[in-house]
Amino acid sequence: MTKLETLNILTSDTRRRDAYDKVTGRANYTTDVTLPNMLHAKVLRSPMGHARIIKIDSSSARKIKGVYAVLTREDIKKYSESELMPVYGYFIKDQPIVAMDKVLYKGDIVAAVAAESERIANKALATIRVDYEPLLAVTTIDDALASDAPELFEEPPVGIVPAYGEGASGKLRSKKNICYTFNYETGSANAFNKCDHVFEDEFKFSRMHHLHLEPFITVASWSDDNKIDIWTACQNPFPLRKEISRIFKKPENDISVKVSYIGGGFGAKNNCKTEPIAVMLSRIARQPVRFCLTAEEGFYTNTQHAAILKIKTGVMNDGSLVARESEILLDSGAYSDGSPLVAEKAGYRIPGPYHYEHLKTTCHCVMTNTAPAGPFRGFGGTQTTWACESQIDMIAERLGISPYQMRMNNLLDKGQAFVPGESGMDSDIKLGLDLVAKEINYKNPPEEPNRGIGLSIGFKDGGGVNKPATARIKASTNGDIFLQCGTIEMGQGAQTALPNIVAEIMNTPTERVRLMPIDTNHTPFDQGTNASSSIAVMGQAVERAALDLKSKILNFSAEQLNCKTEEIKLDNWTIRKGNETIPIIPMIMGFYGGTGFEFSGEGFHKSPNSHLAPLEAPCVFWEYGWGAADVTVDIETGQIIVNKLVVSGDAGKAINLNVCRGQDEGAAIMGLGQSLFETMIYDGVDLINGDPLSYRVPMARDLPASFISLTQEQGYGPGPFGSKGMGEGGILPVASAIANAVYNAVGVRLTELPMSPDRVKKALLEKRYNYSKQDTSRD
């Protein structure tokens, strides 16, 4: 970590670097890509939740004028295994490019057409006849686990279990309809024996869709010389290239993945989504193909994981946490997608930032006949924080301890390892809790009927596991700096933060540094833009590349000036030597000739592996989201009115304060939506609100009367200048802070999301009913 006494460049420039592009409409997204002779793709989706495909007749579609490619399972079967491997997935390769034997959810892709226009493609799709043999569909976790439930995947799974360290393990298909199970255990189960109390509680977590405004989109071109060019809205172009290479049996240097600005991802745009169909249709048509999903189709492409979380916690009379066992069931939908990874994280994060002697956690990915679930901001941590932070309050209430004190008594200290073999806490968590407690006026809460306050601490490991990042920086003769790295600008501010880190180290104005467009042919390797890793992981690679570049320039200059490197400093592309200012350009031209030269620096970062760490590598940084809510419950309607919402994250060191604030606030409002109303509603196999009109997301009018975000800069992060990641923390604490506030207000405990008026009303009625029963028994 570079320690600079003062940060000159960063404090003087607070604007985002992508501001001009984005406020003028000049920002180019994949939706803006057009190529000569480009065709347009559309797909036919299954109307059935679970069915065997008997027959597909696409002959009429192929005859329609303007249709250039039709893709069904019959077309897939024309290719040998050495030409095409038509299934994909993260850990488990279970999702076909188009359905082969069965369809597994309503919305599953059965056929695809590339035509002159989307209109013609849709017309052609309408002529395709598919005969289905309906099968029993299982659309909830309970249905899928029932003893008489049908097995969604009849073949054994093709997949891998990653290497785990101490106490952790994974298993493919541990039971029927469970594609992956993650387990973690530490300490002895005997710890439960000494507990004064053991509390078992169950929580339900609802499912959201990302609703990123830029749709899923890919433009693919399979050229006559068999090179594949892909322009796509993808958060991880290098893993995508690997997957495309595996599917289409092409060398990776024949595949170029290009990513421009992404119009929001929130986790959805990882790995294959629209890419395989676009590439396959282009392979058939030998013309570029644009495949852009509608917003409605987005709902059928990727979602968050609904979940059931069962927690058993052993505590002492004084509120000390001793032991916890938990079982989490994630609704993974019809294909595994990122589910095994989310299971790993949910299973690992369920303790929260507290100390226990014993932990035993299990997380299952349950396959259902619904849309595939995958990565979503918070990545399992949103589910676990909901359950964990609700239960902390429930235990505090049962023991007669204040929820604040319950947390203070059990929180891990700074530097204290999360679990054996792990890295230590890198924020003072108590400091953060005090901050939000003070802001919500915890000690002098408003005394009004049906009004209450609640606290919560969101928690997740950040920076990803086994995540390498590389960066390259070039400086031209004139001192114009080119930063090349694989971090995608999808709104999180990478295009601002990463060049600004370079500018600070090179001591040059920020406008001299540009983050170059991403093309896997030229961009240095990166695992992906996810896990809040841009600053903490890629930031370190960028920092090292800048230091490498800087030392090369200083060494060169010292040689030219016949002095020691320590005697000189870099200052806005000049050399400062004492009071003397010496221009660099003439020195470069003098040595390298009139055309000049480019210096370049390389940087690499990866957290070292350790088998002692449960996930095989100690966590890069810990991401916290402190939250506090002040609510009033309308007991007539059951509506929760959030009077004030406070969220806080720890940026370590904010590279750009506006960007940090934006991350926390955007995440918090996403969490607010999930808390109160936003949810995908399934009725059997039918998603009944799978469109932007009926799927309600937070709007400006949903903002609480008071909405406060507090960016902390505690300074202990592993990133440049002490920075840490910020992307996800803000969503984590919101739901549990509100649920805790509702309990504080009206004494009802909500354990299922969203906390809609009907649920609140029902809970209030049940409470009244229970009271009246007690009254009767006393009489």
Partner 1 sequence: MKNTTTLSFILNNKEYESIEVPTCVTLGDLLREEFGLRGTNLSCNQGVCGSCTVIIDGNPIAACHTFAFEIDGKNIRTIEGLECADGSLDPVQESFAELSAFQCGYCTPGMIMLSRALLDQNPNPSEELIKEWISSNICRCTGYAMIIEAVQLAAKKIKESEA
- Confirm or reject binding of residue 667 to partner 1 (CB under 8 A): yes
From 420-428, 575-583, 599-607, 658-666, span contacting partner 1 (CB under 8 A): 658-666
- Confirm or reject binding of residue 626 to partner 1 (CB under 8 A): no
Distance set, CA 111 to CA 58, 85, 108, 248, 259 (Å)? 9, 17, 9, 18, 26
Nearer of residues 465 and 670 to partner 1, judged by Cβ: 670
- Confirm or reject binding of residue 295 to partner 1 (CB under 8 A): yes
From 255-263, 364-372, 390-398, 437-445, span contacting partner 1 (CB under 8 A): 255-263
Q: Which residues of 745-759 are buried (b: 16+ CB within 10 A; e: fewer)?
A: bbebebbbbbbbbeb
Nearer of residues 623 and 664 to partner 1, judged by Cβ: 664
No. of H helices and E strands in the chain? Answer: 19, 32
Q: Using the rule CB under 8 A, which residue among 44, 668, 685, 748 binds partner 1? A: 668
The conformation of residue 442, written as its DSSP 8-state character, comes to T
Distance CA 149, CA 142 (A): 9
- Confirm or reject binding of residue 492 to partner 1 (CB under 8 A): yes
Least distance in Å: CB of 44 to partner 1?
A: 19
- Confirm or reject binding of residue 252 to partner 1 (CB under 8 A): no
Nearer of residues 470 and 534 to partner 1, judged by Cβ: 534
Q: Which of residues 183-212 bind partner 1 (CB under 8 A)?
A: 210-212
- Confirm or reject binding of residue 627 to partner 1 (CB under 8 A): no
Q: Cβ(726)–Cβ(532) under 8 Å?
A: yes
- Confirm or reject binding of residue 31 to partner 1 (CB under 8 A): yes
Closest CA to 538 of 483, 469, 486: 469
- Confirm or reject binding of residue 18 to partner 1 (CB under 8 A): yes
Q: Using the rule CB under 8 A, which residue among 601, 662, 690, 722 binds partner 1? A: 662
From 27-35, 314-322, 599-607, 737-745, span contacting partner 1 (CB under 8 A): 27-35
Q: Using the rule CB under 8 A, which residue among 6, 25, 224, 779 binds partner 1? A: 25
Q: Using the rule CB under 8 A, which residue among 315, 497, 633, 669 binds partner 1? A: 669
Nearer of residues 214 and 243 to partner 1, judged by Cβ: 214
Q: Cβ(385)–Cβ(732) under 8 Å?
A: yes
- Confirm or reject binding of residue 697 to partner 1 (CB under 8 A): yes
Q: Cβ(237)–Cβ(322) under 8 Å?
A: no
Written as one letter, the residue type at 116 is: E
- Confirm or reject binding of residue 605 to partner 1 (CB under 8 A): no
The per-residue DSSP string of 497-565 comes to HHHHHHHHHHTS-GGGEEEPPEETTTSPPB--S-TT-IIIIIHHHHHHHHHHHHHHHHHHHHHHHTS-G
From 242-250, 397-405, 619-627, 695-703, span contacting partner 1 (CB under 8 A): 695-703
Least distance in Å: CB of 693 to partner 1?
A: 5
Closest CA to 199 of 399, 31, 4, 24: 399
- Confirm or reject binding of residue 263 to partner 1 (CB under 8 A): yes
- Confirm or reject binding of residue 21 to partner 1 (CB under 8 A): yes
- Confirm or reject binding of residue 35 to partner 1 (CB under 8 A): no
- Confirm or reject binding of residue 319 to partner 1 (CB under 8 A): no
Q: Using the rule CB under 8 A, which residue among 562, 700, 775, 779 binds partner 1? A: 700
- Confirm or reject binding of residue 23 to partner 1 (CB under 8 A): yes
Distance CA 734, CA 751 (A): 14
Q: Which residues of 256-269 are buried (b: 16+ CB within 10 A; e: fewer)?
A: bbbbbbbbbbbbbb
Q: Which residues of 762-778 are buried (b: 16+ CB within 10 A; e: fewer)?
A: ebbeeeeeeeeeeeeee
- Confirm or reject binding of residue 404 to partner 1 (CB under 8 A): no
Nearer of residues 130 and 631 to partner 1, judged by Cβ: 631
Q: Which residues of 60-77 are buried (b: 16+ CB within 10 A; e: fewer)?
A: ebeebebbbbbbbbebbe
Nearer of residues 26 and 77 to partner 1, judged by Cβ: 26
Give the distance from CA 749 to its chain's centroid: 29
Least distance in Å: CB of 37 to partner 1?
A: 15
The dihedral over CA atoms of 396, 402, 406, 408, expressed in degrees to the nearest 10, equals: 170
- The burial class, CB within 10 Å (0-12 / 13-18 / 19+), for 330 is buried
Q: Using the rule CB under 8 A, which residue among 65, 443, 701, 778 binds partner 1? A: 701
Cβ atoms within 10 A of the Cβ of 490, count?
Answer: 25
- Confirm or reject binding of residue 19 to partner 1 (CB under 8 A): yes
Distance set, CA 625 to CA 432, 531, 668, 716 (Å)? 9, 14, 9, 16
Distance CA 718, CA 426 (A): 9
- Confirm or reject binding of residue 699 to partner 1 (CB under 8 A): yes
Nearer of residues 265 and 352 to partner 1, judged by Cβ: 265
Q: Using the rule CB under 8 A, which residue among 266, 335, 442, 622 binds partner 1? A: 266
Nearer of residues 481 and 490 to partner 1, judged by Cβ: 490
Q: Using the rule CB under 8 A, which residue among 94, 108, 325, 665 binds partner 1? A: 665
Q: Cβ(303)–Cβ(336) under 8 Å?
A: no
Distance CA 674, CA 738 (A): 11
Least distance in Å: CB of 466 to partner 1?
A: 27
Distance CA 737, CA 392 (A): 11
Least distance in Å: CB of 218 to partner 1?
A: 16
Between β-strands 255-259 and 518-519, what pairing exists: parallel, antiparallel or unpaired?
A: antiparallel
Full strand arrangement of the beta sheet holding 102-103: 102-103, 51-57, 129-134
Q: Using the rule CB under 8 A, which residue among 40, 661, 724, 761 binds partner 1? A: 661
Least distance in Å: CB of 12 to partner 1?
A: 15
Least distance in Å: CB of 108 to partner 1?
A: 22
Nearer of residues 25 and 593 to partner 1, judged by Cβ: 25
Least distance in Å: CB of 666 to partner 1?
A: 4
- Confirm or reject binding of residue 54 to partner 1 (CB under 8 A): no
- Confirm or reject binding of residue 65 to partner 1 (CB under 8 A): no
- Residues touching partner 1, count (CB under 8 A): 58
The helix or strand, by DSSP H or E, that contains position 492, with its residue range, turns out to be none
Least distance in Å: CB of 1 to partner 1?
A: 26
Cβ atoms within 10 A of the Cβ of 167, count?
Answer: 20
Between β-strands 481-485 and 513-515, what pairing exists: parallel, antiparallel or unpaired?
A: parallel
Nearer of residues 89 and 698 to partner 1, judged by Cβ: 698
- Confirm or reject binding of residue 554 to partner 1 (CB under 8 A): no
Least distance in Å: CB of 263 to partner 1?
A: 3
Least distance in Å: CB of 582 to partner 1?
A: 36
- Confirm or reject binding of residue 693 to partner 1 (CB under 8 A): yes
Give the distance from CA 370 to its chain's centroid: 20
Q: Using the rule CB under 8 A, which residue among 136, 163, 213, 765 binds partner 1? A: 213
Nearer of residues 162 and 264 to partner 1, judged by Cβ: 264
Distance CA 707, CA 666 (A): 11
For residue 445, is the peptide bond before it cis, meaning its omega torsion is within 30 degrees of 0? no
Nearer of residues 266 and 573 to partner 1, judged by Cβ: 266
Distance CA 162, CA 165 (A): 10
Distance CA 130, CA 505 (A): 61
Nearer of residues 56 and 732 to partner 1, judged by Cβ: 732
From 380-388, 457-465, 490-498, 757-765, span contacting partner 1 (CB under 8 A): 490-498
Distance CA 378, CA 730 (A): 9
Binding interface with partner 1 (CB under 8 A): 14-16, 18-29, 31-32, 210-215, 261-266, 294-295, 490-493, 656, 658-659, 661-663, 665-670, 691-693, 697-701, 703, 707, 709
